[in-house]
Amino acid sequence: MLPLLGNILLLFLLLTNLSASVKLIAPVQIIEGEEFTFKIVAYGFKIKFPEIDFIDNELVENIDSKSEAYIIDSIKAKKITKIYTFVPKKTFLLPAFTLKIDSKLVKTKTKKINLIKASKTLSSFYDLDMQINKNKAYLGEALDLKIIFTYRDKKLEDYTLIDPKFENFYLKLISQSDYKKTSAEYVEQLTFKLLAKKTGLFKLRAAKAKLKLSKKSNKLRYSANKKFMIYSNFINLEILELPNGISIVGDYDIQTSVDKLKVKQGEPVKMQLYLKGSGNINNLESFNFNIPKATIYHKNDSKNKLHKSFEILSNEDFIIPSLNLKYFNPKKQKIIQIKSPSYKIEVGNIRNKSNKTFELKNNIQKGITVMEKLIYFTIGIIITIISLYLYKKILSLNLFKKKSDLIYELKKIKNQEVFFKKIVPFVGKDYSLDTLIYKLEKENKDFKKIKIGIMKILGVHYR
């Protein structure tokens, strides 16, 4: 019995030693800027991996884990594979990793990984080229970057142009096009806008493409696929500082227009603002102006970011001031200042004009005697008294009718936006009324309460 137990124990120990092993799979070199990926494969019955958080002060990510079963002399064991990745910044030493397998500590070997710079792939079948419209630019100046892939190999089954990433630069894809260059050459071109975040000398890393070739076989039409990377040239770039006090670069022109120069009280003046040209201005949100005793509403165009419209209300004459823009033009190598014209707007008052006309007519007197003057003066006083009495009566009736019409119209309105447009012409007549109108522009919950308050101030008794 004892010899049998001894043989079983010996067999178990032998199987344990056979199963407890680890393997490190990693390349010996990595191209600068690429992700370095390595695998740790462990075999055994009970396996515990170490925590790998950092290598050479760079954050490591465990991107995949897989567990499989395998048989050793009719006994089921485990095979666990873990894949890790990170982006190294220099040549480094991949350390030894300690795993606990079947109560036993097992280590991987250290490995030196060389970081190498990418060089342009030279081939008669493929070409990846990177081009830029200028190698010296100012901060804020947009550059045109093109990545052009040309291929002639019929075995090319698939490819992917990898979007470039450049530190200290903003990059935006503008267009993508495919075309046939010759009967045997095909081209794909990506066009980007490149914008620097800071000044200095920079080297734009080589662009890259992932290719997949089909290999021909005697037995099968295609037996396997070959995958590999190709690289473009790199680009040297110098970004210059803008002149002092200037943050805008480009070439612009301001265009403005108003729909009218004379309006009645309560009638808005509509103004359009367009910024023509190109540069680092993305929208017109900062383009505003202040006009004393006027209410200004502005709206940004959702389709054309360089267009903005204004509506201006005032009870008095006012001036729309000019808008100024100072920018640096890299083509002319100088600072340019442009401005829009100003507009003088006349706001008419009907009552004042009537009084002036009345006074003017009463002052035109020629060749009149003293007695005639006295008679005319007396008649004038009587007519004036009667006219004023009738005027007040008519005005009172008109006001009463207008108030009645206003009551009827305002009571019918249930929509806040429609009501707001109806009472906007009354802006400037009363401070309390202005406060409620501005509040109505922003508030939604207290619409009914604000509506009652506005009608009371207007002299309307709302029930």
Q: What is the CATH number of the domain that holds 286?
A: 2.60.40
pLDDT above 60: residue 13: no
Each residue's pLDDT tens digit, 128-186: 999 999 999 999 999 999 999 999 877 788 899 998 989 899 999 999 998 888 778 89
pLDDT band at 364 (very low <50, low <70, confident <90, very high): very low
430 is a domain residue: yes
Assess if residue 380 is contained within a domain.
no
Block residue for tokens 């109108």: 437
Q: Report if residue 365 sits inside a domain.
A: no
Considering 348, 381, 413, which residue would you say is the last residue of a domain? 348
Pair (233, 303) in one structural domain: no
pLDDT tens figures, 16-65: 555 679 999 999 999 888 899 999 999 999 999 999 999 999 999 999 99
- How far lies 36's CA from each of 63, 85, 208, 244, in Å? 12, 5, 16, 44
pLDDT, position 463: 42
Average pLDDT on 86-99 reads 95
Mean pLDDT of 83-105: 95
Same domain, 44 and 68: yes
Confidence label for 328 from pLDDT (cuts 50, 70 and 90): very high
For residues 196 and 297, state if they share a domain.
no
Is 50 exceeded by the pLDDT of residue 296?
A: yes
What pLDDT does residue 129 have? 96
DSSP letter at 424 equals G
In a domain, 132, yes or no: yes
Are residues 315 and 283 part of one domain? yes
Q: What are phi and psi of 302, to 5 degrees?
A: -75, -25
The reply to whether 73 falls in a domain is yes
* pLDDT confidence band for 358 (50 / 70 / 90): very low
Instruction: Report the distance separating Cα 417 and Cα 298, nearest Å.
Output: 16
381 domain residue, yes or no = no
Is the pLDDT at 343 greater than 90, yes or no? yes
- Span 170-226, pLDDT tens digits: 999 999 998 888 778 899 999 999 999 999 999 999 999 999 887 654 344 444 567
8 assigned to some structural domain: no
From 116, 144, 169, give the residue that closes a domain: 116
Distance CA 30, CA 91 (A): 9
How many whole angstroms separate alpha carbon 145 and alpha carbon 128?
A: 13
**Comparing C-alpha atoms, which of 154, 145, 139, 144 is closest to residue 207?**
145
Residue 7: pLDDT over 50: no
Tell me the mean pLDDT in the region 368-393.
Answer: 71
Residue 370 domain-assigned (yes or no): no
| 321 in the same domain as 341 | yes
Predicted pLDDT at 233: 95
Q: How many CB atoms lie within 10 A of CB 275?
A: 25
Question: In this predicted structure, what is the pLDDT of residue 225?
Answer: 64
Confidence of residue 361 (pLDDT cuts 50, 70, 90): very low
Q: In this structure, are 144 and 81 located in the same domain?
A: no
| Co-location of 154 and 61 in the same domain | no
Query: Does the structure show a pLDDT above 60 at 352?
Result: no
**In this structure, what are the phi and psi dihedrals at residue 442, rounded to the nearest 5 degrees?**
-105, -35
**Token reading at 95:** 């350390």
Beta bridge partners of residue 202, listed in sequence order:
237
The region of weakest confidence among 2-16, 74-88, 411-425 is: 2-16
One domain for residues 109 and 144: no
Question: Considering the chain, what is the average pLDDT of its residues?
Answer: 83
**One domain for residues 317 and 232:** no
Neighbours of 435 (CB within 10 A): 13
- What angle do helix axes 431-442 and 447-457 make, rounded to 10 degrees? 160
Q: Give the C-alpha separation, 141 to 196, whole Å.
A: 8
How are beta strands 29-31 and 98-101 bridged, if at all? unpaired
> What total of structural domains would you count in the chain?
4
CATH number at 140 reads 2.60.40.740
Domain boundary among 348, 372, 389: 348
Q: Are residues 231 and 261 in the same domain?
A: no
pLDDT band at 289 (very low <50, low <70, confident <90, very high): confident
Q: Residue 97 pLDDT > 60, yes or no?
A: yes
The reply to whether 205 and 257 lie within a common domain is no
pLDDT digits (tens, 9 = 90+) for 233-279: 999 999 999 988 888 999 999 999 999 999 999 899 999 999 999 88
For the chain, the residue count is 463
Residues 130 and 234 in one domain: yes
Report how far residue 179's alpha carbon sits from residue 150's, in angstroms, rounded to the nearest whole number: 10
**Which domain does 271 fall in, by range?**
250-348
Give the pLDDT mean for 267-292: 90
